[in-house]
């Protein structure tokens, strides 16, 4: 993968992360503005996937409907992640993280991680039905790179939990 494509993947990760953050904090903004941002991110990510997948015409016919379904479900998990980060940030900023809140936050994080893995596993056979194995692996690599960029950006903006001394 050349440097331009690597930079595109990183850019999409950052944009997706920013969209998640905006989604979590933009409760009073019009829904149609958020929809425009969400669609822009989805479109940009789709372009990056398209640039990197090198699909034949017949592969593309099978791949894109499965991709859309997967992205729709993945988006729901990202919204849940965004809410978790926002809940943590609010509790942290208000110095109100009790052991019970810490447990709730950690349990939600584990649930999100479990759901993400379940989703990946559930869609693996669907992608295998429409693509050769090497292209399925390539697609999962692309998704992993985008997720790594997201996690990096999330982690950079989240302070470590305060502990009792």
Q: 34: part of which helix (H) or strand (E)?
A: helix 31-53
Of 60, 52, 64, the closest CA to residue 143 belongs to: 52
pLDDT of residue 158: 85
Residue 120 resides in a domain: yes
Residue 78 three-state SS: helix
Let me know if residue 130 belongs to a domain.
yes
Number of domains in the chain: 1
Asked if the structure places residue 22 within a domain, the reply is yes
In a domain, 144, yes or no: yes
107-165 tens-digit pLDDT: 999 999 999 999 999 999 999 999 999 999 999 999 998 888 878 877 887 888 887 75
pTM of the model: 0.75
- Host domain of residue 136: 3-156
- pLDDT, tens digit, 9 for 90 and up, residues 34-68: 556 666 666 788 888 999 999 999 999 999 999 99
Residue 165 lies in a domain: no
């Amino acid at each position: 993968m050349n440097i331009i494509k690597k930079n595109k993947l990183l850019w999409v990760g950052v944009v997706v992360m920013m969209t998640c953050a905006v989604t979590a904090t933009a409760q009073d903004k019009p829904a149609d503005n958020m929809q425009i941002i969400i669609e822009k991110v989805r479109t940009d990510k789709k372009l990056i996937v398209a640039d990197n997948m090198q699909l034949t015409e017949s592969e593309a016919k099978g791949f894109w409907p499965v991709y859309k379904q997967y992205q729709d479900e993945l988006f729901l998990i990202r919204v849940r992640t965004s809410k978790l980060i926002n809940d943590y940030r609010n509790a942290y900023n208000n110095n109100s993280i009790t052991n019970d809140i810490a447990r709730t936050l950690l349990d939600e994080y584990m649930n999100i991680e479990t759901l993400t893995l379940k989703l990946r596993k559930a869609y693996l056979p669907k992608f295998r039905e429409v693509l050769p194995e090497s292209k399925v692996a390539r697609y999962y690599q692309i998704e992993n790179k985008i997720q790594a960029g997201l996690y990096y950006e999330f982690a950079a903006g989240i302070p470590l939990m305060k502990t009792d001394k």
